[in-house]
């Protein structure tokens, strides 16, 4: 069975909620999915057993939250080239973090990224629940190709 890992940072829990919904979408599609907080990943090697990896962080002061920055420097030491990838995050008005994470995964880690990053104002607003679940399903679809 294909395996996915969702790594997220959050301050008030909104990005964690999005991560849970993405995980639901993956699991519904038959992908075994683990979730971990960015600060709990201690070694780059922990990332390598997975076929797909999704990284998520909210935007504060126009940037990704610090925990995700630290995690991305750690992830740089893993061999993630060619693995399926996605990026997501909660935001209030500008939402820079998901696109920056996405670009790092694409250009530095050389991952096979899903169409675009998922930015949600809130999992509960504007169809957020469905969008997050669909995001998980679209990553699962990449693993079946």
Interacting residue with ligand FMN among 7, 15, 22, 52 (CB under 6 A) = 15
Q: Please count the CA atoms within 13 angstroms of the CA of 14 that sit on its side-chain side.
A: 20
User: Which residues lie across from 85 on neighbouring strands?
Assistant: 53, 113
Both structure tokens of 1? 């069975």
Interacting residue with ligand FMN among 24, 41, 44, 60 (CB under 6 A) = 60
Q: Smallest distance, Å, CB 132 to ligand FMN?
A: 13
In the stretch 92-131, what mask flags binding to ligand FMN with x, by CB under 6 A?
xxxx------------------------------------
Sequence-separated (6 or more) residues with CB below 8 Å from residue 54: 4, 5, 6, 7, 19, 22, 85, 86, 87, 88, 139
Q: Smallest distance, Å, CB 128 to ligand FMN?
A: 11
Q: Does 39 bind ligand FMN (CB under 6 A)?
A: no
Contact 136, 29 (CB under 8 A): yes
Instruction: Name the residue nearer to ligand FMN (CB basis): 25 or 58.
Output: 58
Binding site for ligand FMN (CB under 6 A): 10-15, 58-62, 90-95
């Amino acid at each position: 069975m294909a395996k996915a890992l969702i790594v997220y940072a959050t301050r008030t829990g909104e990005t964690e909620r999005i991560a849970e919904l993405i995980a639901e979408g993956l699991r519904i599609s038959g992908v075994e999915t683990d979730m971990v907080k960015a600060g709990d990943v201690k070694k780059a090697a922990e990332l390598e057993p997975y076929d797909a990896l999704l990284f998520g962080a909210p935007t504060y002061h126009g940037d990704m939250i610090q925990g995700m920055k630290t995690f991305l420097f750690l992830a740089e030491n893993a061999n993630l080239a060619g693995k399926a990838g996605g990026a997501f995050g909660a935001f209030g008005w500008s939402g820079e973090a998901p696109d920056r994470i996405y670009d790092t995964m694409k250009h530095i880690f050389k991952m096979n990224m899903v169409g675009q990053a998922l930015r949600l104002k809130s999992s509960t607003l504007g169809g957020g629940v469905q969008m997050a679940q669909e995001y998980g399903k679209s990553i699962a679809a990449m693993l079946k190709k």
